[in-house]
């Protein structure tokens, strides 16, 4: 018997990010169903993005804030292999490595702006030219703190997140599977995903969500969901990394089995 046999998980990430997590969970016996709560799309063609950003040759540091920033923004680097690159976490680093680029700075203690800002090489930035490759919106902590430290910050937004619009029939099938007890877990790897999921759910589906355990990526998301009215039990992972999500789920399952 595998560790997650009999556990059904509703995975709500955008499809491209959902697939690796689904495979990992299924390897441990879980059944997964995808219901992307948001979709990711580029904000403009690469040529237009490059024109907005301007030349990169004078940049002292280029920071990618997510794997999606790499997906839609790595082409802006061109063939420049001498740029100093920073990634906000291991998933972003992997995406840059897979695109053929070496990453010089990755936070060691956690995978967010605060931990990246704690890195020694980001402490003394007076007069340094820093480029942020990011999505539309989101928290401004990174840009604000870099500027506070004296950096000359340029930001280019390369992708946007939009609420998904699944058809009524798909939502009805999800609700039926929830009612049949086939799902025990719903994921929310960002607060934006959790909020979008709640928005697209009708009253019946929202009520079913309260009977599930929510697998979330950190305390900030758990607190945010509580503010949105979610009263269901929370399983808190160390991060949104697939392995951390799996380990949190395995710990939860072990408490049920008494292992």
Looking at every residue in the chain, the average pLDDT score rounds to 93
pLDDT at 259 over 60: no
The DSSP output letter for 153 is E
* pLDDT for res 257: 63
Mean pLDDT in residue range 190-217: 94
The structural domains of the chain, ordered by start, are 8-37+165-257 (3.40.50.10090), 41-162 (3.40.50.10090)
Mean pLDDT in residue range 49-73: 92
Decide if 206 contacts 198 (C-beta within 8 A). Answer: yes
CA–CA separation, 74 and 83 (whole Å): 12
Mean pLDDT in residue range 196-204: 92
Hey, what are 166's tokens?
């699944």
* pLDDT for res 1: 67
- pLDDT bin (cut points 50, 70, 90) of residue 140 is confident
């Amino acid at each position: 018997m595998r560790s997650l046999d009999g556990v059904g998980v509703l995975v709500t990430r955008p499809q491209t990010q959902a697939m690796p997590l689904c495979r990992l969970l299924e390897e441990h016996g879980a059944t997964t169903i995808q219901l992307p709560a948001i979709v990711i799309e580029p904000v403009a063609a690469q040529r237009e993005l490059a024109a907005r950003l301007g030349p990169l040759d004078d940049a002292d540091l280029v920071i990618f804030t997510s794997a999606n920033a790499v997906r839609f923004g790595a082409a802006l680097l061109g063939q420049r292999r001498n740029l100093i690159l920073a990634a906000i976490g291991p998933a972003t680093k992997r995406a840059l490595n897979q695109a053929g680029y070496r990453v010089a700075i990755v936070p060691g203690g956690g995978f967010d702006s605060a931990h990246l800002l704690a890195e020694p090489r980001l402490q003394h930035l007076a007069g340094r030219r820093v480029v942020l490759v990011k999505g539309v919106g989101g928290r401004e902590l990174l840009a604000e703190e870099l500027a506070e430290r004296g950096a000359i910050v340029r930001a280019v937004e390369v992708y946007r997140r939009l609420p998904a619009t699944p058809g009524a029939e798909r939502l009805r099938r999800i609700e039926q599977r929830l009612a049949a007890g086939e799902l025990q877990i719903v994921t929310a790897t960002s607060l934006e995903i959790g909020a979008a999921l709640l928005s697209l759910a009708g009253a019946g589906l929202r009520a079913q969500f309260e009977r599930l355990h929510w697998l979330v990526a950190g305390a900030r998301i758990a607190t945010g969901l509580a503010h949105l009215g979610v009263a269901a039990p929370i399983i808190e992972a160390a991060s949104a990394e697939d392995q951390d999500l799996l380990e949190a789920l395995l710990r939860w399952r072990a408490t049920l089995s008494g292992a």
